[in-house]
Amino acid sequence: MRAVVQRVNEAAVTVAGKTVGAIGSGLVVLLGVGDDDSATDGRYLAEKIAHLRVFEDDDGKMNRSLLQERGEMLIISQFTLYGDCRKGRRPSFSHAAKPDAAMELYKAFVQSTQDLGIATAEGVFQAHMQVHLVNDGPVTLMLESKGAF
């Protein structure tokens, strides 16, 4: 699995002009599921992201986690994170999981995050979405369950 994680002051996702998910302070996670991923990858990333020290302490150092801040998480499925742009001009998505498997693993990631006690909001799987956010910092990180980043 691949994730782009952004620290935000607030964020929302809309589908067809209707807000389907919104959070206050916390993290936006764009989550891509690969064709060789499993629920283990989702649990690993959920734990990793929940404990990332990306929030500032009283001294202004990134030393606090989402769990410590009691922040929220907006999780958006993003198969384009598996776009391979090395050849030609059109991305290949041959390593992205098929929709049924991706949806199951996306839901498992959401559940793993909720099991950690994090309040979550979601986009709509396979929908055309608009994500609105105020990136705080900006702080943006890329993670992968298999360690490529």
| Beta strand 72-77 pairing with 26-32 | parallel
* Among 79, 109, 113, 120, the one annotated catalytic: 79
* Among 40, 80, 126, 130, the one annotated catalytic: 80
Catalytic residue status for 125: no
Catalytic residue status for 80: yes
Sign of the dihedral through C-alpha 118, 119, 124, 129: negative
Q: Which residues of 52-87 are buried (b: 16+ CB within 10 A; e: fewer)?
A: bebbbeeeeeeebbbeeeebbbbbbbbbebbeeeee
* Among 6, 14, 78, 120, the one annotated catalytic: 78
Catalytic residue status for 79: yes
Structure tokens at 25: 């302070």
Question: 118: buried, middle or exposed (CB in 10 Å: 19+, 13-18, 0-12)?
Answer: buried
Backbone phi, psi, residue 125, to 5°: -55, 130
- For 110, the 3-state DSSP assignment is helix
Catalytic positions = 78-80
